């Protein structure tokens, strides 16, 4: 059976050019990048070229990029690191209710240490109101952390405005750009961010690799202690192949962004139009907000999203629900409940996240199976009132 992958926000395959760039660093070019001999110099050169490519993707300087083990570590380093370096009098953080758990759980851990955190709500379209940020500021606020693109909805937050507010208030500003890097233009000076998180495996690079942008002059403490790697910000022998992979992925993403955006948006629009036309009561979440071109979150009321994901998987179409599965119980997504969906609608929502290798035929194949799968599940569902069966 032909299998179609529409879960690129969960992870992406390593692009062949990225893999080619990485391969020599597992065997021939294995030197420790901190060694001063030729073996080490060769890998040091490769790591520094990769750093430059990552910097260029976001309009930063190479010296402002620190390699990490991924988006989660970058978020932890930004949030814990800035708070730890701040004076005792500045222990308040502002964030949103729709952040990834890499940010939310970090903020919750800070609360246990006595730091106060404000979790701002978002609109029905999934957008934060910059005025809410302004109102939440206190003299003791040290950090604002607001994600760039949401992983479930694809909605893009008005970071320029929030950045202006943060700069005026003299508060550090971090963004989790894990879901926007490579899908949406990013320039750290335009966004006025001081810290920005990236993950390689969301942009056709390897898993377990990421980076954090730290604007020169930002006061931050490391999370880990050890050697003097990464300018004392992240000790540990460099993951040379991984960093090279992220560098190559960033280089490709930068060069091909306009073309990729067009390709993805056209397929996303066709998928949404097809589902809205063929599936009664379906609704696209965040459709009126600025969005990444690859992400579509659709509520299909009167069924369980998990059941539809499984039914579609049996037909060869891989997508996901926004719901996190914890201790065997399917909790409704915190993002979808934050935009105002009742729990049963949040549980009846699917995320399709498209990628560079998808083709228009994949969309047509998905559209040929989705309406039938929905109809079969609704037939079985006590939730489906037969009187609303016709649109
Ligand atoms: N932030 C966002 C918005 C994400 O979507 C993810 C991954 O799902 C992460 C952070 C975590 O990144 P990583 O898997 O590299 O730790």
DSSP string, 240-273: HHHHHHHHHHHHHHHHHHHHHHHHHHHHHHHHHH
Distance 166 CA to ligand 1 centre (A): 24
pTM above 0.75, yes or no: yes
- For the Cβ of 72 lying below 6 angstroms from any atom of ligand 1, the answer is yes
Distance 254 CA to ligand 1 centre (A): 20
Tokens encoding 272: 């949404």
- For the Cβ of 120 lying below 6 angstroms from any atom of ligand 1, the answer is no
Contact partners, residue 223, CB within 8 Å, separation at least 6: 73, 76, 77, 80, 81, 234
Tokens encoding 67: 């390699």
Instruction: Tell me the best of 178, 211, 324 to mutate to test the pocket of ligand 1, counting ligand atoms within 8 Å of each CB and taking the most.
Output: 178
In angstroms, the CA 95 to CA 381 distance is 38
In angstroms, the CA 16 to CA 327 distance is 37
- Domain ranges in the chain are 4-11+257-388, 16-253
CA distances from 135 to 120, 160, 166, 389 (A): 10, 17, 12, 45
Please name which of 58, 200, 214, 233 lies closest in space to residue 143, comparing C-alpha atoms. 214
Q: Which CATH class is domain 16-253?
A: alpha beta
Q: Active site includes 319?
A: no
- For the Cβ of 152 lying below 6 angstroms from any atom of ligand 1, the answer is no
- For the Cβ of 279 lying below 6 angstroms from any atom of ligand 1, the answer is no
3-state helix, strand and coil shares in percent for the chain, rounded to the nearest 5 = 45, 15, 40
**4-11+257-388 topology per CATH:** 3.90.1150
Contact partners, residue 16, CB within 8 Å, separation at least 6: none
Tens digit of each residue's pLDDT, the chain (391 residues): 899 999 999 999 999 999 999 999 999 999 999 999 999 999 999 999 999 999 999 999 999 999 999 999 999 999 999 999 999 999 999 999 999 999 999 999 999 999 999 999 999 999 999 999 999 999 999 999 999 999 999 999 999 999 999 999 999 999 999 999 999 999 999 999 999 999 999 999 999 999 999 999 999 999 999 999 999 999 999 999 999 999 999 999 999 999 999 999 999 999 999 999 999 999 999 999 999 999 999 999 999 999 999 999 999 999 999 655 555 567 899 999 999 999 999 999 999 999 999 999 999 999 999 999 999 999 988 878 765 555 4
């Amino acid at each position: 059976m032909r299998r179609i992958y529409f879960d690129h926000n969960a992870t992406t395959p390593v692009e062949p050019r990225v893999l080619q760039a990485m391969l020599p660093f597992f065997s021939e070019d294995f030197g420790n990048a901190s060694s001063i001999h030729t073996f080490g110099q060769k890998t040091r050169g490769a790591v520094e070229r990769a750093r430059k490519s990552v910097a260029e993707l976001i309009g930063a300087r190479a010296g402002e990029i620190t390699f990490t083990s991924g988006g989660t570590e970058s978020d932890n380093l930004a949030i814990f690191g800035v708070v730890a370096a701040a004076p005792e009098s500045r222990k308040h953080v502002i964030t949103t209710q729709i952040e990834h758990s890499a940010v939310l759980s970090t903020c919750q851990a800070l609360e246990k240490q006595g730091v106060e955190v404000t979790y701002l709500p978002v609109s029905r379209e999934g957008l934060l109101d910059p005025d809410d940020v302004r109102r939440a500021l206190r003299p003791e606020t040290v950090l604002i952390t607001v994600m760039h693109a949401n992983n479930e909805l694809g909605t893009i937050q008005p970071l320029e405005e929030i950045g202006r507010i943060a700069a005026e208030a003299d508060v550090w500003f971090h963004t989790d750009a894990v879901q926007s890097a490579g899908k949406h233009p990013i320039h750290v000076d335009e966004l006025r961010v001081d810290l920005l998180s990236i993950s390689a495996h969301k942009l056709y690079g390897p898993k377990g690799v990421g980076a954090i942008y730290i604007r020169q002059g930002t006061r931050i403490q490391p999370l880990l202690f050890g050697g003097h790697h990464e300018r004392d910000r992240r000790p540990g022998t460099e993951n040379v192949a991984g960093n090279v992979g992220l560098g190559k992925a960033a280089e490709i993403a930068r060069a091909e962004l306009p073309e990729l955006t067009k390709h993805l948006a056209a397929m996303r629009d066709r998928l949404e139009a097809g589902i809205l036309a063929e599936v009664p009561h379906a609704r696209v979440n965040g459709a009126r907000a600025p969005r990444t071109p690859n992400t579509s979150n659709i509520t299909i009321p009167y069924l369980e999203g998990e059941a539809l994901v499984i039914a579609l998987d049996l037909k060869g179409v891989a997508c996901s629900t926004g719901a996190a599965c914890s201790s065997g119980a399917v909790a409704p997504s915190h993002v979808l409940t934050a935009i105002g969906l009742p729990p049963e609608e949040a549980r009846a929502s699917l995320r399709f996240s498209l990628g560079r290798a998808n083709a228009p035929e994949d969309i047509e194949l998905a559209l040929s199976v989705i309406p039938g799968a929905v109809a079969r599940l609704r037939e079985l569902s006590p939730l489906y009132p037969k009187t609303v069966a016709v649109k």
